Structure formats: C-alpha cells, structure tokens
Amino acid sequence: MSHEDSRNALLDKDPTMETLRTPDERFENLPGYDFAPHYTQVPDGEGGGLRIHHIEEGPADGEPILLMHGQPSWCFLYRKMIPILVESGYRVFAPDLVGFGRSDKPTRRSDYTYARHVQWMSDWLSTNNLNGITLFCQDWGGLIGLRLVAAFPDRFARVVVANTGLPYASPITEEMAPSVRKIYESLPVVAHGELTERFAQKDGPPGFLYWRKFCAETKELPIGEIVGGLGTIPTPSEVRSAYEAPFPDASYRTGAHIFPSLVPMFPDDPELPANRAAWKVLAQFDKPFLTAFSDSDPVTAGGEAVFQKRIPGTKNQSHVTIPNAGHFLQEDNGEDCAATMIAFIHNNPA
C-alpha cells in the first residue's frame, strides 16, 4: 500500500475517527528487529475499530510476559530483551500503543485521551485473554499498564516498574493553577537538545513543563534523536532511524505530540480520580512487585520510592538499579533489564 493510499484509508470506513496505518515496508530491514506482526481489533469508542499491533514470541505454553512501551517509542524498544526472555522459555507480548509503531494512528489530537488509551489496551488485554502475566512497564507503559493491573489484578502474577509513575495527586494547588498555566504558556519551545538540561535544572519551571511544551508545539518531533538524546551511550544512526519508521511524516505523529499533555498535572485533570482509584487497588496488591529504575534517568529519578512505600508486593524484594542507562533503559541496557526479569520470576514462582 502506498503512502498516499495509507493516508486516505479509513479503518472499517468509520465516518468519525480518521486513522492512518503505516505502510508495512517502513518496518523492513530494521536493525535487530525481525518479528512477525500480530494484530487485534478493538472498538475505537466512536462506533468504529482500531487495529493494535503486538509482537508475540516464544513457546505457546510459556509464562506470559507483557512489555509496555511509552512515548515517543514503540515496541522496537524491546528488541534486545525479547530474544533473551524467549530463550528462557517465556511467551513474550509487546504491543504498540495506539498512535505508535504498527498500530493505527488517529489523526486528531482530540482522539487521544488517557481514559481512551486505558480502554483500548483493556480491550486488547481481554481479547487476547492473557493470564498469569508478568508486566514490565516504562514511561507511559506504566501510566497505562498500572491502570490495567488495577482493573484486572487477577490477570497479573508479577509487576516490574521501570522509569515510570502513576500520578495520583496534583503537585499544583487550585490557587496556583492559574499562575502555573500562565508560566507554561509563556515558556519557549526549546531545542530538543536542551531538554535533558531542563530536566536536570533545580531552579525555574520543572523540566516536564518544557517537555510538554516542546512535544505539543514543535513542528518537528525528531523521535529518534529524542530516544538517543535521553540515553547514556551513543545510539547508532540506523537505530535512531528505526524509531522514526512508524512516522512517515508529521501527520502520523499526532499521538507522540499529545501524550505529555495527557499526564495529569493540574487539580482538575479528569484522570486523577481514576488514578487514585487505581492506587487503592495497588495499595492492596501483594503479589511480587519490583522496581528497576535506571541510574541515569533525568525524568523519573527517585520515582521508585512511592512504589516501595505504598505497594505491599514490594516488600522483601531485591529491588535493582539498572546501570549505565538513561530514560529508555531498554535501549541502553536491555540485557540487564531482561536478566532482572528472569531472576525476579525465578525468585518468585507462581
């Protein structure tokens, strides 16, 4: 299918939600990525459907492992971990969130909401009927994946959280909100090369506000450069290009642009109550729960503390710090991430 044909195709001829589907040839000959595609159809919430892609590798009777990515990456991020996990006998599932990878990409920013992403992945999980899952989630993979754990706790046997969080309270009071919004509106759209420095700064507006502003307003979103730029080791150019593969042009990047704006920050955010309800479930979750944050992430440093404090399943676990890794620890040190999972499952048999 040509680029133009893909642009004009509407999934199931749905009149309300226009979607794009990245041509298959964009995923050919990517370094280290030789996985057959699998697809699941879910309702889009507007009377039509969406096709969600996932990798599915390993023996059919192996314990299931669910790997969930965040923004602006896709399941290519897990290419180093998957073979190691499969070799150890596990059945590995790595979906692409809607708007990313080989999954369908709604074209309007208004099509993307936090609640919709939870519902889409809930439908994906139920349709594939996974049980006894060990979840590994990073970035938005945690914001969505932990909501799945709370919604379907009986389906999950273990959880590993890495460089992620689940916001449950606004850091901004109602009195502060108008002035913070004004500050946000006045922020410049910095070059992507400055973002790491903004996250590290101790004075001035939080780095996340600059990241949110950058993604929402920049015309160019160099996804490969962003993934490489938040790492600790040089990322080869062919790998950076592979992260760009799902996005032939700007019209495919709507989800990547809008995701940071969906993170609950302000007290009137509609998903804060849902996240608080999820935390009530997680606060009773006594199945094995491991934190595996990296040693050099400017975005989520220290985020493991809230999990270790509030979730009973974290007790008596050998929590780890993944060395030599930035925000995208699967890219920088996927080998240690996989080894950590294998040891965690071995030490906590179902």
Q: At what angle do helices 254-262 and 207-217 cross, to 10 degrees?
A: 150
Phi and psi at residue 324, in whole multiples of 5°?
55, 45
Tokens in use for 123?
């439908």
123 has catalytic annotation? no
Task: Please give the torsion angle defined by the CA atoms of residues 155, 160, 166 and 168, in that order, rounded to the nearest 10 degrees.
Answer: 80
| Distance (Å, whole) CA 245 – CA 236 | 15
Single out the catalytic residue among 44, 96, 297, 332.
297
Q: Which residues of 51-60 are buried (b: 16+ CB within 10 A; e: fewer)?
A: bbbbbbbbee
Take residue 315 and report the two structure tokens written for it: 């007790």
Contact 251, 106 (CB under 8 A): no
| Pairwise CA distance, residues 182 & 184, whole Å | 5
Under 8 Å between Cβ of 284 and 300: no
C-alpha 189/C-alpha 203 separation (Å) is: 18
Closest of 109, 101, 171 to residue 141, by C-alpha: 101
| Active-site hit among 139, 192, 332, 336 | 139
Cβ pair 327, 299 in contact under 8 A: yes
- Is 139 designated active site? yes
111 in catalytic set? no
Q: Catalytic one among 257, 327, 332, 336? A: 327
User: What amino acid positions are annotated as catalytic residues?
Assistant: 139, 297, 327
